[in-house]
Structures are given as structure tokens and as C-alpha cells.
Structure 1
Amino acid sequence: MTQTAEFPTPRLGEPYLLTPGPLTTAYEVKEAMLRDWGSWDGDFRAMTATICRRLLAMAGDEAGDYVCVPMQGSGSFSVEAMLGTLVPRDGKVLVLANGAYGLRAAETLRYLGRDHVVIDKGDYLPPRGDEVAAALAADPGITHVVAIHCETSSGILNPVEEIAEVVEAHGRKLLIDSMSAFGAVDLDVRRIRFEALVSSANKCIEGVPGFGFVIARRTEIAAAKGNSHSLALDLHAQWVYLEKTGQWRYTPPTHVVAAFLKALDLHEAEGGVAGRGARYRANRDTLVAGMRALGFETLLDDRWLSPIIVTFFNPADPAFDFARFYDLMKEDGFIIYPGKLTVVDSFRLGCIGRMDAAVMRRAADAAGRALTRMGVASAAPPALALEERARLAA
């Protein structure tokens, strides 16, 4: 593989990760994990404080109305912590689902014993403001709305600003799962009203897996004492302890925190949310153009394509086998992602991580070579899949 100056081929023969996270990270981020840290030490506590301050600034919290609470574990740990802490036990949640992660939020609420209802739009379309308004008007018992910012099972970027306006107008509280969008897609508290958002270290800020974080309205988390079902996932208790001591309640992923701090430096140097988002959009556009030139087609209409990950239909050609395609792409230096849809066979290619448009062109070239090696004459999807997409988009 050739190299570009700013986005070199990963070291040690590593493939590029065309996934929604974990993702390809900069060498400097990896290098930051070579030092050990004491979780109670003043230097590490200062690192935690710096991370929280910079994440709040990224969210546009100039007035100090919000707090940032890191939480050990994968992103789903932080989602459960947010839902289990900020939704009271007698609350009721409207979950806006159009893929696996909205449905996972509903499943989490079921485990938590929180009353909830679901608007399920399927795989192709986003929930819209008028649908949310109708649901809220019909059920005054709903206290909270959960929205997925970027639904990575399909690649849809959902219209959270539109949804937030409706939720605020109806006097309800919005919780946003921005796991795969925060840091690359604008989510500013000065424009978009929400009570909390959740994201993770190993997504658009390009850190490594190990912790997530919740940015919550200070008044909301202060009022949440006693809501949580869990000792370890009690977001309120984590916040109180952090405010009092500067420490995480239980052993933090120290190396991951150090890596994330370096990732924040690179994020800022790139131009923050605007700069990172611009690169990801260029990645998406280059990738989609290259794949379509081979005959592949996207699951979604162009207006709903996120800059995070793109879902492609599997080719109808009987010579296409996803497992073989995966292996050939890996041999060529790219790890791809299987589909996560219920109605059609598909696969996903991520646009995020330490990669640029030149890497995306190489990924499309690798896909072309894989088709040739499999003997696939056409990458066109089944006609019925395109008809269904057109019907739902109409």
C-alpha cells in the first residue's frame, strides 16, 4: 500500500477499520498509552478534568448549565447509565427507532423496568417531527424522548434539531444517543435543547474503546439521586464523587483516558467539529462514488446518508458471498462491517477514523478487486430491494 503524508498506512501491517468504532487511530493516540498512571494521582485527576472541560466546550456549554460525566465500559454502558439515572422509575419514554440502536434503547428500558413506547420507522427512514408531536399529544404520560443521532445499522443521520424543537414545545425531555456522531456532527446546546447526550471515546473523536461520557443538564442530574437501578451505572453517584474528589468512583481505564486526551488535541488541530465533519463527509462522498462506479448501491436515499457509515446492498449476483468478500477485503488491508438490517442483505463501510479520501478510493478499488476474484459480473442489488427503497422514499 502507498501512503499519504497525513494518513499513513497503519503500522505493523494493521488493516484500516472501515467500521463505526473501534476505528483506525493515529499513531500518537496509540503512543499515549505507553505510560502508566495512578488513578488517584493529581496528574491523572487533572487529565479527567481537562477532558470534561473540553467536551463541554465542544457541546457549546458556555453558561455552565451542563456537566460531563465519564463512565467506564463500552458506549452501551453509558447509554444504560443515562437511561437508568435520568429517567425516574415512574417515567415513561418515547423511543424513536429506525434501526438496531433505537431498538436496543427500548430493550434497555425493558430491562430497567421503565415504561416506554416505540415509534419504529424500519431501516430506511428517519423519525420526523410531526410524528413525534402526534405521539406526545396523544400520550401526556410520556416524560422523556430518546433519539438516536446517527443510526449506524443503516447509516441514517436523524434530524435531531427538528425533533428537539417538538419535544421542547411539548414540555418533555430529550435524551440523545449521539454515540456515533458527537465530535463530527454539530450538537450545540445553544441551538438544540436536550437534557443529556451520550457518546463514546472510540467514535468521532478517534480515541480507543474503554469509556463513554454523558453530557447532562446540571439540574437534571442533580435531581436524579435514587433513580438508578445499578450501583456501578449510577450516573448521579459517579458525578457526585467526581465533583467531590476529582476521581472516578471505580478504577478508570487510565490508558484509554490518556489516549483520548491526545485524540482531543488532534481533533482541535483539525478544526474541531467542523473540520472533522468536513473530512468525514469527503470520505463518504468519495467512497459512495467509487462503490457506485462498481455497480453497488446504497440502502438510503442520498439526503439521509450520514458522514459516519454507509450501508450498501449485497449484489444480487449469485457469485457474491459476503464471507468471501470480507476475507478478500481484509487481505487487501480493510476490515469491513456486516449488515445489521432485518429486511435485506447488506454490508457497511465506515467513513470515520484516521483516514482520508485517498484511503476511501483505495477501499473502493479493493472492493473492485474482490468482485473480480469472486467472479461477480455485476454488483447491482436485487431489483426488489431498489423498488422497496423507492417506495419508502416516495
Structure 2
Amino acid sequence: MNPELLPDNPYLLLTPGPLSTTKTVKAAMYRDWCTWDSDYNAIVQQIREDLVRLAGDGETFTSVLMQGSGTFCVEATLTTAVPPDGRLLVIANGAYGCRIAEIARRQGIDHEFINGDECTPPDLDRIEACLQSDAAITHVAVVHCETTTGMLNPVEKIGRIVKTSGKCFIVDAMSSFGGILVDMEAVGADYLISSANKCIQGVPGFGFVIARQTVLEQTRGQARSLSLDLYDQWRTMEDHGGKWRFTSPTHVVRAFAQALGELAAEGGIETRHARYRENHRILVEGMQRLGFQPLLPAQWQSPIITAFLYPRSEDWQFQKFYEDLKSRGFVIYPGKVTDRETFRIGNIGDVHAEDMHRLIDAVGDVVNSMKR
């Protein structure tokens, strides 16, 4: 399929995923693949190897792909990694950390829940005290980039506390992996979870887990689910050269392979991170000129997605703001903070500096139209 024959999108997705993808990623889905075929399975194996390299250490870690959204992978990891006699500490400061706790509750996983303020990083002293006082805790889980607010949580500092306590460390890097350097060994992560449709800029349909192989090998027979058995999925891919246990999202996998190639061609994670940071800088400076204030202080803010406070104006209506921006070619996200009125704008995907400048111009036009 010639990518140039594909129609242009009617709008740019400024969201934390699904996100705007290149025409070449979309075009990769125009061919059908057989899940048993060696050519297709070779693509899967290459993806698995590339993911491990992006995480920092190909000798210590392995990877496994899992059908479904990123949350499927979070649930697969929790329900496979934590044994029946284990206890999970969930560290949350937003909706996605709370979702981890909800998975644990529904699956009957014994857990402790530190639910902090959405607008501040996790309390390191509280985490350390909890681990020292509760010897039953075996696993600790935290979100790296909490897209409720755009908060970038200090996983390196948390990881040092977790590993000093001798616990297994699970990092939900859903919205950060591929756009922010994450060295799993340096972080102390035993599991890192992400999804195809985030910073690697693929399309929705599967997620992936990068795991310390010696830790994953110890989970055989522990899974609470058949379809979400992370160990069995990994073992099948290992033993059968990239074969999935059940029907795999072949078109999405091929698009992801293309996206990985485009990440490398761009210059890797460091270069993509720099682009996202520049997108974020243009966004914040432009929005502040128009009277919008970010929810978080700059030192806690990720370059992935930014939450802005509603302006104090009688003319302000978020739904009208959203629809008017959409009509001008931009789709943004509603807020998710529980006690403050916010909306969010993402900086990731096939989005570049010129797009952010166009967005600021469009926001200025919409704001002026709302005052008339």
C-alpha cells in the first residue's frame, strides 16, 4: 500500500493514546498475516528483542506481548506475578494508580493501598515506613507517568526503596516508555508495562511487558486467569519462535514493527523525548500567554500530557471549547482530577513543533470567539 494514497486525518489527536500515527504505520496494516506463519512470528520475535534493548539490558530481561489494551497487561502482570500468599503495595496519586488497586481488589489479591494527593509526587518516607512495618508485602506497583495530571513519578527513588527492602517492583510505564528513557536495571524494575499505542506510536490492540527473566520464570502456575496468564504467554513465545497462545492482532503487530523502525530512524528515545519536550514547551508557553495555567509545577510535569485549569471566566464552557477546537483540526482530552476542573492536552504521537504552534493559534481563535 502506497502511504500517500491514504486520506489525511480530519484532526490531530492530542491525547495520551490512541494518538496520531504516521501514514506509513497505517499502511503497514494493509497486508494480511497468518499467525502460524514463520515470517509473521519472526516479526514478533524482532519486536520482543527490540523492546528489551529499549529497556536497557538484553541479558537480564525478556519481553512478552499480550492481546488487549494496556490495562489488560497490567492485570496480566498483577495476577501472574503476585502469588496466592503474596501481598501487593499499590502506590497511587491518580486514576491509573487507583486502577491498579481496583484490579487487586477484584482479583482478590491481598494488598495495601497508599493513595496520595493527585497533584503531588508519592511520599517516599511513607512508602519506606510501610515497607519496614509490613513484612508481608512481596510486590510494589506504581505508575511512572500518571496521565490523570501529567505527573512524572520518581520511579528511580521509589525503586531504590523497594529493592533495599527486597521486594519485587512493578512499573506501569504505559504513557512513558518509548518517549522517556527508562533503564530497568537503574530503576530496579522487575516488570515494566506499556502499550502499542503510546510513545512508540503504534495503534491500539496489544500491550507488552518487559520482565526480569529469572523473576518471570518463578511465576509458572500462579496466574489467576487463563487468557491473562503472562507466564504461559511468554513460555509459548519462547518455545515456538514468536507464536501467540491465542489469536494475535496481526495487523496491529505489523504496524508496531513499523513504528519501532520509525522510532529508530528518528534517533531513538532520546531524540523523540526531545521532540516531546519541545512540543510541551511550545504548548505551555502558548497557553500561558492566552491565560491558561498548568495544574502542576514544572518540576513534576512530564512531557507526555499536560493538565490545564479551567479559566475563571463566565464565558468558559469546556464542551464548546472542545468542539470548536475539533472543528479546527485538534482533539484534546477532558480532565480526570477529582477535586479541580481541568482539561488535558497531549504532546505525543506524530505531532511536531509546527502542529503545536497551529494549536495555539486555534486556541486563541476559540477563546476570542467565546468572548463575543
C-alpha separation between the residues in 2 aligned to 1:318 and 1:65?
Answer: 57
Q: For residue 228 of structure 1, report the CA deviation from its aligned partner.
A: 1.2
Distance 1:53 1:221, change over 3 A: same
Q: Which residue of 1 aligns with 2:198?
A: 203
Q: Which residue of 1 aligns with 2:146?
A: 151
Q: Which residue of 2 aligns with 1:383?
A: none
Q: Which residue of 2 aligns with 1:117?
A: 112
C-alpha separation between the residues in 2 aligned to 1:176 and 1:25?
Answer: 25
Residue 324 (structure 1) aligned with residue 337 (structure 2): no
Q: Which residue of 2 aligns with 1:344?
A: 340
State which of 272, 276, 279 in structure 2 corresponds to 1:276: 272
State which of 82, 88, 95 in structure 2 corresponds to 1:93: 88
Question: Kindly, what percent of the aligned residue pairs are identical?
Answer: 48
State which of 117, 141, 146 in structure 1 corresponds to 2:136: 141
Q: Compute the TM-score of the two structures, normalised by the length of structure 2.
A: 0.96
Q: Compute the TM-score of the two structures, normalised by the length of structure 1.
A: 0.91
CA contact (8 A) 1:69 1:214 kept: yes
In structure 1, stretches of 5+ residues that fail to align are: 1-7, 377-394
State which of 282, 288, 297 in structure 1 corresponds to 2:284: 288
Q: Which residue of 2 aligns with 1:46?
A: 42
Q: Which residue of 2 aligns with 1:297?
A: 293
C-alpha separation between the residues in 2 aligned to 1:128 and 1:54?
Answer: 34
Q: Which residue of 2 aligns with 1:355?
A: 351
Q: Which residue of 2 aligns with 1:307?
A: 303
Amino acid of the structure 1 residue aligned with 2:346? G
Residue 232 (structure 1) aligned with residue 216 (structure 2): no
Q: For residue 372 of structure 1, report the CA deviation from its aligned partner.
A: 1.3
Q: Which residue of 2 aligns with 1:55?
A: 51
C-alpha separation between the residues in 2 aligned to 1:95 and 1:234?
Answer: 21
Deviations along 1:173-224, one digit per CA (max 9) or x if unpaired, are 1100000000111111332211101000000000000000001111111111
C-alpha separation between the residues in 1 aligned to 2:108 and 2:266?
Answer: 43
Q: Which residue of 2 aligns with 1:67?
A: 62
Q: For residue 129 of structure 1, report the CA deviation from its aligned partner.
A: 2.8
Amino acid of the structure 2 residue aligned with 1:133? E
Q: For residue 128 of structure 1, report the CA deviation from its aligned partner.
A: 3.8
State which of 215, 220, 234 in structure 2 corresponds to 1:220: 215
User: Secondary structure, in 3 states, of the residue corresponding to 1:223?
Assistant: helix
Q: Which residue of 2 aligns with 1:170?
A: 165
C-alpha separation between the residues in 2 aligned to 1:339 and 1:196?
Answer: 29
Q: For residue 16 of structure 1, report the CA deviation from its aligned partner.
A: 0.5
CA contact (8 A) 1:314 1:345 kept: yes
Deviations along 1:204-261, one digit per CA (max 9) or x if unpaired, are 0000000000011111111111211111000011011111112000010000000000
C-alpha separation between the residues in 1 aligned to 2:47 and 2:192?
Answer: 16
CA contact (8 A) 1:128 1:162 kept: no
C-alpha separation between the residues in 2 aligned to 1:178 and 1:190?
Answer: 14
Q: For residue 11 of structure 1, report the CA deviation from its aligned partner.
A: 4.2
Q: Which residue of 1 aligns with 2:245?
A: 249
In structure 2, stretches of 5+ residues that fail to align are: none
Greater CA drift, 18-27 or 220-229: 220-229
CA contact (8 A) 2:184 2:190 kept: no
Q: For residue 131 of structure 1, report the CA deviation from its aligned partner.
A: 2.4
C-alpha separation between the residues in 2 aligned to 1:195 and 1:15?
Answer: 39
Deviations along 1:262-301, one digit per CA (max 9) or x if unpaired, are 1001101111111111110111011000000000001001
C-alpha separation between the residues in 2 aligned to 1:361 and 1:240?
Answer: 47
CA contact (8 A) 1:17 1:334 kept: yes
Q: Which residue of 2 aligns with 1:12?
A: 8
Q: For residue 13 of structure 1, report the CA deviation from its aligned partner.
A: 4.1
Deviations along 1:352-380, one digit per CA (max 9) or x if unpaired, are 0001111111112111111111118xxxx
Q: For residue 119 of structure 1, report the CA deviation from its aligned partner.
A: 1.4
Amino acid of the structure 2 residue aligned with 1:200? S
User: Secondary structure, in 3 states, of the residue corresponding to 1:214?
Assistant: strand
C-alpha separation between the residues in 2 aligned to 1:130 and 1:14?
Answer: 48
Q: Which residue of 1 aligns with 2:185?
A: 190
User: Secondary structure, in 3 states, of the residue corresponding to 1:287?
Assistant: helix
C-alpha separation between the residues in 2 aligned to 1:297 and 1:185?
Answer: 24
CA contact (8 A) 1:128 1:163 kept: no
Distance 1:305 1:11, change over 3 A: farther
